Chain A
């Protein structure tokens, strides 16, 4: 925001006090009028216009309204104090030169470490050099809540983690046992499981001109002295014996605490009966049942998705409620019928597909 004298609409109380202090009755024989030019820096009074009140109008030699500040008196703009020697307004982080209508330092400065040299400079976009602009002067297609996001993963247990996204860099984010923070140079748009080891964080860049993906490992293991290798082995052995495909479960167990959290985010049930088979299938947009049906029927996931898109274009989509109240969509195109769950943990995933 550019500040200027014309924006001064309200005179602070403190300033009024200063004016009143200089208010004097006209002496006999004097005839003050509007045409009488007051001296610079001296407040005059026009009793006819403002009886009993100081007239807060005077002209300087330059024809500008005078600076009506005194030490410790607030600015009429934002109530900031003015340095009487330099004439600059103190805006806490920076000084503002009202005569120039600009700040005296860039709008990005680290209090502890000093100025930061042009953060997020993009050689292909000269506007990124302008530290005073909003979204590089491209507000029509870009928005900037903060310009950075921080993704915090928090391990819930050996098989689950939660993820939260906050604006700002991760500089001020404190992480504890079982937590990790990942800086994302833009606005997070999606978080998906990447196999069983990590998560992919999609984002739109700071300038809104590009997008990218940051891969983050699952949240680290708890710093829990009660869980040592032997205890983990016993737990994982039990899981392996309990579920189908014990070897798969045991394989999960062998890396738990290091990298399994990302997958747990997507499914929420790792170790609860689904296991890696389900995770792998879910990551490709299929439930395990859907993957098995497509494979047996010789329908590739790409064919199923193509049928979905074709059915959308043709309007051949039937929406229905599943048996247990979950909305589903039935797409029929290219000789294939595809059933997609539309809500819940499997939202957007193919339940089954068959030739029609």
Chain B
């Protein structure tokens, strides 16, 4: 299984975690985050848990700082994104 940037970006676009696409942001809105997630994985095969952690960390760096409450609110979508990335990569 190889997780590609295209798969990650497609997933992030679909989930639109921050709701920026729905207010007119272009398709490349989450390209930066997709690149960072793939870079973090360094070609390894992550578990769903480790992938969730990577997505969360990248997100906090890009859109944070977040309060614990902010992170908690996003946790379900972090999990969903990680799950989707793994599914789309198989």
Contacts and interface: CB of A to CB of B under 8 A. Distances in A.
A326 B20 CA distance: 13
Name which of B18, B58, B63, B65 has the most chain A CB atoms within 10 A of its CB. Answer: B65
Given A325-B73, A337-B24, A354-B26, A274 B61 contact: yes
Q: Is the interface of B mostly helix, strand, loop or mixed?
A: helix
A277 B32 CA distance: 13
Contact of A324 (B26, B31, B60, B74): B74
A289 interface: yes
Q: Is the interface of A mostly helix, strand, loop or mixed?
A: mixed
B64 interface: yes
A150 B36 CA distance: 42
Name which of B26, B28, B61 has the most chain A CB atoms within 10 A of its CB. Answer: B61
Interface in A254-299: 267-269, 272-275, 277-278, 287-289, 292-293, 296-297
Contacts of B23: 320, 330, 337, 339
A356 B24 CA distance: 8
A354 B24 CA distance: 9
A50 interface: no
A115 interface: no
Interface string B16-27: 011110011110
Contacts of A297: 26
Interface string B36-62: 100110000000000000001110111
Contact of A273 (B24, B26, B33, B61): B61
Contacts of B63: 287-289, 346, 351
Given A296-B31, A345-B65, A273 B60 contact: yes
Contacts of B65: 267-269, 272, 274, 278, 345-346
A289 B32 contact: yes
A356 B23 CA distance: 11
A269 B32 contact: no
Contacts of A272: 60, 65
Contacts of B67: 344-345
Given A323-B17, A326-B70, 12 more contacts: A244-B36, A273-B56, A273-B61, A274-B60, A277-B61, A278-B65, A287-B63, A289-B62, A289-B63, A296-B32, A324-B70, A354-B24
Interface of B: 17-20, 23-26, 28-29, 31-33, 36, 39-40, 56-58, 60-67, 70, 73-74
